[in-house]
Amino acid sequence: MARRAALLQALPSPAAESDGGQDRLRAVRRGAVPFGYLSPTVVLLMILMVIPIVMVIGYSLMDNVIMKKNPQLVGFKHYIDILTSDTFWSAASNTAFFTVVSVVAHLVIGLLFALMLNSPLLGGRTKAVFRTIYVLPWLFTVAIIAVLWRLLLDPNGVVNYLLTTTGLTGTQIEWLSSPETALFAVTFINIWSGYPFYMTSLLAGLQGIPGDYYEAAEVDGANAWQQFARITVPQLKPIIISMALLDFIWTTQQFALIWMTTGGGPLGTTEMLSTFTYKLAFTKYQFGTASAAAVIVLTISMVLAFFYVRAQRARD
Amino acid sequence: MRKKYLAGIAAATAALLATTGCSGAAAPSASAGGDVTLEFAQWWEPELPSGSLRALMDQFEQENQGIKVKLISGPYASTKEQVVAGAAAGTMSDVVGLDGAWISDFVKQGSLANLSDLMKAANYDDSQLAAQVKLNGSTWMIPVANFVYPMFVNEDLLKKAGVSEVPKTRTEFTAAAKAVSALGGNVAGWAMPLDTATPNGIQNDVMSWVWASGGSMLKDGKPYLTGNQDVKDVLDFTKALYDAGAITKGSFTMKEQDKVNEFTNGRVGMVIDSLAHVNTLREQNSKLNFTVSAIPVKDGYTGKGGIPYASWGIGVAANSTHQAEAFKLVSFLMSKDVNAKLCSAAKAFPGNNTAVPDFVSSDPVFKKAFEIYQASNVTNEFVGLPVAEDLMRSFDEEFQKFLAGKQSADDALAAAQKQWDAAFAG
Amino acid sequence: MSRRTRSTLARIGLIAALVIGAGYAALPVLWMLSSSFKPNTDIFAYPPQLIPQNFTWDAYAAIFTDPTKVRFFLNSYFVSLSVTVLTLLVAVLAAFAFSRFDFPFKKVLNVVIVSVQAVPPITLLIPYFGLIVFLGVYNTYQGLILTYLVFTLPYAIIMMTGYFNTLPRELDEAVKVDGGSSWTALWRILVPVSVPGLVSVGIYTFMIAWNEYLFALTLTKTPEMRTVPIGIQLLMGQHSYEWNQMMSMSILGCIPILLLFLFFQRYFIGGMTAGAVKN
């Protein structure tokens, strides 16, 4: 508010001298300006996102939606069903593991690669070559990533071949089919396919840190680690927060990758909220319950979004 | 310009909210000139020799002036969601390809037209149909092409392992599977795909053993797992093989396609597999020396065996405005010559019981398979059951826990029984 | 040890690390490339063959000789490019509002924009589908474009807001002092300066639209409207997969994105969020 007032003062507006009524009109019109800019977004999101979401919320309170012509209102029954189901909680804990490990690993690998690619020790052409190679996992549709990794991680696949012929393991490992390794395997695949998003963004961020910050730190006798911790990380923090939020939301929804590699098995060890919801909707045809699961995920994300917005304001 | 457009959308949306989404407006499929255009949604076209389904449609258009057919192909794995969503939005195609395991759910949703009524209206003689999938006394799906699942045997591997005869009983099978696995390398005796995303393995590779020996997983149309000795025997039999390492690794997330790849590459001695694969196997590995045989039975069983099958079924959409024309297409596909032609292309057994596909007499493997087919009861108890895929999945999950040693066979069956009962009650 | 040897050693170590990293990133892709030149069975051969023993172009020929499949590519280009342009346009306007104005409900709107992406698409599918049919854009390019537009908008707005936030306010205020409107400030000053940010957000938008499967499948019907990811899934049959064609199709699919990346690399690396950390 204060900023806008300042802005108004700065403008050599002839209206300032005229009578108060017209002045107020102008202020109103000016207040409408941001909404003008926002109108396409608001209209699009309202119609195409908010309406379906409201319908999903409606479904979550009803029984037999979609499958029957006359669904009945059942209140919060579906929410109670879900929150008291063991499968939901194990799916939630798998999702939490999958998401947190993925996001952290994306960040670490993305940052590591970005730092390596940003090193002054390398020539521009070398960097360009490696940059292109490193961005490769980003270019494929999820279905093909799933199929490719199923091939690679097959008991008779390439990974086991390499491990057994080099003597690292004695027997073939059932990466995706053993309850002990499956969750790690799908998380690994997701890490592989997602780090370039961070890498490119952080690389961009690194270009933006003024060189004199580092020179000043060097003068103060800061070593490489201290420079990293005191300059690089704080400077990159705003990007990291935005990306981590987006990635968090996207990863909790990762469906196709899980579905096409393990289908939530073996023994439910890779069951995620997304696969759990899918099964409710399209094999049990309980769209009401599935919608309730979706609303729960939405609520959690809204809490996250709230903190994100607060963090952003603090930054401003 | 855009403002007007957006205002239009806003108004439309307000109206939509009032009708809570399910707009009953069916997609108009009539085109200009009084011609009727039928949409035929299926996953068959990509699986058939290129252009062969279209050629049949051209023939249909010629025989039925004024009706055009538009083929709509979708990926098999997504067909079910598309039908459910299409029925909810009223955009389902007039004629749809179906799998028997989905029927109960679609009937419940009201997405399919009653074929009994359509047959009556068209004075259709249904005695030529080999099978009809019925529910509540009416027909909803007609199997067009049937893919039976005999046992495929890699003769070279068996010979190498010193097994001279194709196993006929479970004991012989166990011995053969162990012998093949003992060959070492990464060769195994049997492959059992249990992936839970598409849990068809329960139907094709597990329950098939029960059916082959005359057993059943149902009693009076209700789930019968607890205390079912036939099913328990199969569980124990597979567990013994599993523990002995006679089954290809990776069972818990193996898909049907993986099983086929393993067999094609000569890494597995025996698999239960669709006859549709004979040509693929030959094309992809000409050196593979294989034969087909009936699924081995429990020791001492002499009755008629069951052989599992999967079908390409066909049905008509409830929201179709051209159901009579749609049924014409159905009866065209079921007619003797057309059905034989389609099944020859698909390497399937015909849904018309008078049709004889050409490959049956010309090819020794198919000839043998046809003999097995005729000597067995074609069985698939999952067809027509409510939430059939979910039944397979819950059984699969309990079965996996049993194989992993987390629960006993009785507990697995009791747990599956509980979930099946709940599904039947729902 | 002299400074020079130390820096040489550091360089060698760095290149070694980069090569290892490149193996992690690229070997799976290399395997995909090699598989696309194999007959189907050889893809499963054991021991695996990195260099195809029975080299064949069949998988590529099968795509180029099939007009339906070529059409998938054309559809994907058209849809993805349109989405990219529209998303950038709408997102720039919204990001400008978020970055340069204070207004009531700003916080609420921000939370909404972030969290609309949080509903699992699979549960949105049916109500969304009903809406699209109702609006009469089922099985049209408009339907797909609108859909991806709303999917990519939140991301694009978040990133572009961050980008605008880093540009000094003096830039646009100067325009206002000269009597120009905020509209002029946006298009004459902010947008030209933001090209790197636009390029990076644009490429990512393009990739989301290019790779989306579920809604593409549901919202289209006829083969003339299908996109590449559906084409890939159509090769996954009920009983067997056309592995080599799936591989070749995704290799072909990634080439345009790779070219885009190479072409815009200069901006991309300088862009994305480069400005976000400048003050």
Residue A157's Cβ-count burial label (10 Å; 0-12, 13-18, 19+) is buried
Residues of chain C contacting residue A313, judged by C-beta atoms under 8 Å apart: 107
- Does residue B144 sit in helix, strand or coil? strand
pLDDT of residue B25: 37
pLDDT of residue B159: 95
pLDDT of residue B12: 39
Domain ranges across chain B: 28-148+310-366, 151-293+386-425
Mutation site for B-interface testing, chosen from A35, A43, A69, A257 by largest number of B Cβ within 10 Å:
A43
Residue A93's Cβ-count burial label (10 Å; 0-12, 13-18, 19+) is exposed
> What ipTM score was computed for the predicted complex, to two decimals?
0.85
Q: Are B295 and B213 in contact (CB under 8 A)?
A: no
Contact A267 B400 (CB under 8 A): yes
B285 and C CB contact within 8 Å? yes
Contact A177 B110 (CB under 8 A): no
Continuous H helices in chain A: 2-10, 20-45, 51-60, 77-83, 86-117, 124-135, 142-153, 158-165, 182-208, 211-219, 224-227, 233-252, 256-261, 273-282, 287-315
C238's CB contacts (< 8 A; 6+ apart) are B43, B47, B76
A266 and B CB contact within 8 Å? yes
Shortest Cα distance, chain B CAs vs residue A56, angstroms: 11
Number of B to C CB contacts under 8 A, please give it: 103
B279 and C CB contact within 8 Å? no
State the DSSP code for B151.
E
Closest C-alpha to A81, from A292, A294, A301, A297: A292
Residues of chain A contacting residue B425, judged by C-beta atoms under 8 Å apart: none
Average pLDDT across each block of 10 residues of chain A; the chain has 316 residues. List them in order: 37 42 67 87 90 91 80 89 93 96 96 89 84 90 90 90 85 89 96 90 77 87 88 84 85 90 91 92 87 90 83 62
Whether this prediction's pTM lies above 0.90 is answered by no
Residue C43's Cβ-count burial label (10 Å; 0-12, 13-18, 19+) is buried
Q: Which contiguous run of DSSP H or E holds residue C92?
A: helix C67-100
Q: Which chains touch C (3 or more CB pairs under 8 A)?
A: A, B
CA-CA distance, A240 to A230, in Å (whole number)?
15
CA-CA distance, B170 to B175, in Å (whole number)?
9
pLDDT of residue B19: 33
Q: Which chains touch A (3 or more CB pairs under 8 A)?
A: B, C
Contact B23 C234 (CB under 8 A): no
Q: Does domain C66-277 have CATH number 3.40.50.300?
A: no
pLDDT of residue A138: 87
Q: What is the pLDDT of residues B139-182, one digit of tens each?
A: 999 999 998 899 999 999 999 999 999 999 999 999 999 999 99
Shortest Cα distance, chain A CAs vs residue B422, angstroms: 11
Sheet holding B188-190, edge to edge: B188-190, B268-272, B151-154, B290-293
Contact C123 A291 (CB under 8 A): yes
pLDDT of residue B7: 43
Token readout for B308 is 């599992």
Could you tell me which chain B residue has the CA closest to the CA of C240? B257
Q: What is the pLDDT of residues C251-279, one digit of tens each?
A: 998 888 888 888 877 765 554 444 444 33
Residue B22 has pLDDT above 50, yes or no: no
Q: Give the model's confidence band at B295: pLDDT under 50 very low, under 70 low, under 90 confident, else very high.
A: very high
Q: Does domain B28-148+310-366 have CATH number 3.30.420.40?
A: no
Shortest Cα distance, chain A CAs vs residue C102, angstroms: 6
Residues of chain C contacting residue A312, judged by C-beta atoms under 8 Å apart: 110
Shortest Cα distance, chain A CAs vs residue B63, angstroms: 37
B281 and C CB contact within 8 Å? no
Q: Are C124 and A52 in contact (CB under 8 A)?
A: yes
Contact A38 C109 (CB under 8 A): yes
Write the CATH number of the domain with boundaries B151-293+386-425. 3.40.190.10
CA-CA distance, A255 to C125, in Å (whole number)?
13
Shortest Cα distance, chain B CAs vs residue C133, angstroms: 7
Residue B23 has pLDDT above 50, yes or no: no
Q: Which of C18, C110, C243 sits opposite A130 (nearest CB)?
A: C18
B73 and C CB contact within 8 Å? yes
CA-CA distance, A137 to A114, in Å (whole number)?
15
A284 and B CB contact within 8 Å? yes
Write the CATH number of the domain with boundaries A87-315. 1.10.3720.10
Mutation site for B-interface testing, chosen from C38, C222, C238, C244 by largest number of B Cβ within 10 Å:
C238
Mutation site for B-interface testing, chosen from A69, A165, A177, A186 by largest number of B Cβ within 10 Å:
A177
Q: Which stretches in chain C have pLDDT values below 50?
A: 271-279
Q: Give the model's confidence band at B28: pLDDT under 50 very low, under 70 low, under 90 confident, else very high.
A: very low
Closest C-alpha to C129, from C139, C141, C120: C139
pLDDT of residue A25: 66
Q: Are C50 and C30 in contact (CB under 8 A)?
A: yes
CA-CA distance, C100 to A34, in Å (whole number)?
8
Residues of chain C contacting residue A37, judged by C-beta atoms under 8 Å apart: 93-94, 96-97, 101
Q: How many other C-beta atoms can be found within 10 angstroms of the C-beta atom of residue A14?
A: 7
3-state secondary structure B67-128: EEEEEEECCHHHHHHHHHHHHHHCCCCCEEEECHHHHHHHHHHCCECCHHHHHHHCCCCHHH
Mutation site for B-interface testing, chosen from C46, C230, C239, C244 by largest number of B Cβ within 10 Å:
C239
Continuous H helices in B138-184: 155-160, 170-181
Q: What is the pLDDT of residues B63-112, one digit of tens each?
A: 999 999 999 988 888 888 888 888 888 889 999 999 988 898 899 888 99
pLDDT of residue A2: 39
Residue B216 has pLDDT above 50, yes or no: yes
pLDDT of residue B33: 53
pLDDT of residue A22: 66
Domain ranges across chain C: 66-277
